Amino acid sequence: IVNGILGSGHEYATELTKLMEEILTTLKYTLQVNFNEQDIYFQRFITHLKFFTERILSNTKSDESTDEDLFLLITGKYPRAYIGTKKVSEFLKQTRSYEVSQNEQIYMTVHLARILEKIQD
């Protein structure tokens, strides 16, 4: 059942997991944080990250238009979280030739901002 849901089987699941781990490692070292895997915000981020990595592996781009004002608002309000997002975007461009859309950057930045706020509490 899991293989049917994830696509082409064990290799795909392995690649998905590997990419998720690479992204989390990039974020951990860039933001210099230890993630609390029990935190609800982290769990939500992992769900987002799973679908994000599936889009990367299938080279699927979102067709949504970007709200430039929203992008500027989010990246300006959460600069530390955006640093992590930007680093992941650069990593994916270099290693996978994948351009992370501004919409995806908005979503990732918001998720990271919530995680960072929770860590600081």
Q: For residue range 9-48, what is the model confidence (pLDDT) as tens digits? A: 678 889 999 999 999 999 999 999 999 999 999 999 999 9
Residue 63: predicted pLDDT: 67
Residue 38: predicted pLDDT: 94
What structural domains and CATH numbers belong to the chain? 2-120 (1.10.1790.10)
pTM attached to this predicted model: 0.87
DSSP annotation of 35 reads: -
pLDDT digits (tens, 9 = 90+) for 64-112: 778 899 999 999 999 999 999 999 999 999 999 999 999 999 999 999 9
Q: Extract the tokens encoding 3.
A: 């293989």
Rounded to an integer, what distance in angstroms lies between the CA atom of residue 66 and that of residue 106? 10
Rounded to an integer, what distance in angstroms lies between the CA atom of residue 109 and that of residue 112? 5
Answer for the pair 72, 30: CB distance below 8 angstroms, yes or no: no
